[in-house]
Amino acid sequence: MATIINGKDVAASVIAQIKSATADLQAASAVQPGLAVILVGADPASQAYVGSKSKMAKECGFKSVQHSLPEDTRQDDLMALVAELNADPTIHGILVQLPLPKHLDSEKVIQSILPEKDVDGLHVVNAGKLATGDSATGLISCTPAGALILVRQIRGDDLSGLNAVVIGRSNLFGKPMGQLLLSKNATVTMAHSRSRDLPGICATADILVAAVGRPEMVKADWVKPGATVIDVGINRVPAPEKGEGKSKLVGDCDYASCEPVAGAITPVPGGVGPMTIAMLMANTVIAAYRKAGKRAPNF
Q: Is residue 286 part of a domain?
A: no
Task: Tell me the whole-structure pTM to 2 decimals.
Answer: 0.95
Q: Is residue 124 part of a domain?
A: no
| Identified catalytic residue from 9, 17, 24, 53 | 53
3-state secondary structure of 253: strand
Same domain, 264 and 156: yes
Please determine, for residue 238, whether its predicted confidence score (pLDDT) is greater than 90.
no
What confidence score (pLDDT) does residue 208 get? 98
CATH code (residue 169): 3.40.50.720
Alpha carbon distance 221, 225 (integer Å): 9
Amino acid at 193: S
Report the 10 Å Cβ neighbour count for 232: 28
**Catalytic residue list contains 53:** yes
Please determine, for residue 296, whether its predicted confidence score (pLDDT) is greater than 90.
yes
For the chain, helix, strand, coil in percent to 5 are 40, 15, 40
- Which pLDDT band holds residue 44 (cuts at 50, 70, 90)? confident
Same domain, 41 and 165: no
Into how many domains does the chain fold?
Answer: 2
CATH code (residue 57): 3.40.50.10860
Q: Which residues of 26-47 are buried (b: 16+ CB within 10 A; e: fewer)?
A: eeeeebebbbbbbbbbebeebe
Please determine, for residue 241, whether its predicted confidence score (pLDDT) is greater than 90.
no
pLDDT in tens, 176-200: 999 999 999 999 999 998 999 999 9
pLDDT in tens, 266-282: 999 999 999 999 999 99
Comparing CA positions, the residue from 148, 165, 152, 265 lying closest to residue 206 is 165
Please determine, for residue 118, whether its predicted confidence score (pLDDT) is greater than 90.
yes
Please determine, for residue 1, whether its predicted confidence score (pLDDT) is greater than 90.
no
Same domain, 115 and 147: no
Alpha carbon distance 93, 102 (integer Å): 24
**Catalytic residue list contains 24:** no
Same domain, 203 and 256: yes
Amino acid at 60: C
Same domain, 146 and 115: no
Residue ranges making up the domain that contains 96: 29-119
Q: Taking residues 71-76, what's their average pLDDT? A: 97
| Identified catalytic residue from 97, 179, 184, 206 | 97
Same domain, 113 and 177: no
Q: Is residue 236 part of a domain?
A: yes
| Identified catalytic residue from 120, 206, 231, 254 | 120
Please determine, for residue 244, whether its predicted confidence score (pLDDT) is greater than 90.
no
Same domain, 90 and 152: no
Alpha carbon distance 210, 224 (integer Å): 14
pLDDT in tens, 125-134: 999 999 999 9
**Catalytic residue list contains 97:** yes
The domain boundary, picked from 119, 153, 182, lies at: 119
The mean of the pLDDT values for the chain is 96
Q: Is residue 226 part of a domain?
A: yes
Same domain, 248 and 188: yes
Same domain, 73 and 156: no
Same domain, 228 and 163: yes
Q: Is residue 105 part of a domain?
A: yes
Same domain, 91 and 166: no
- Which pLDDT band holds residue 43 (cuts at 50, 70, 90)? confident
Q: Is residue 110 part of a domain?
A: yes
Q: Is residue 232 part of a domain?
A: yes
3-state secondary structure of 237: strand
Q: Is residue 257 part of a domain?
A: yes
Same domain, 147 and 270: yes
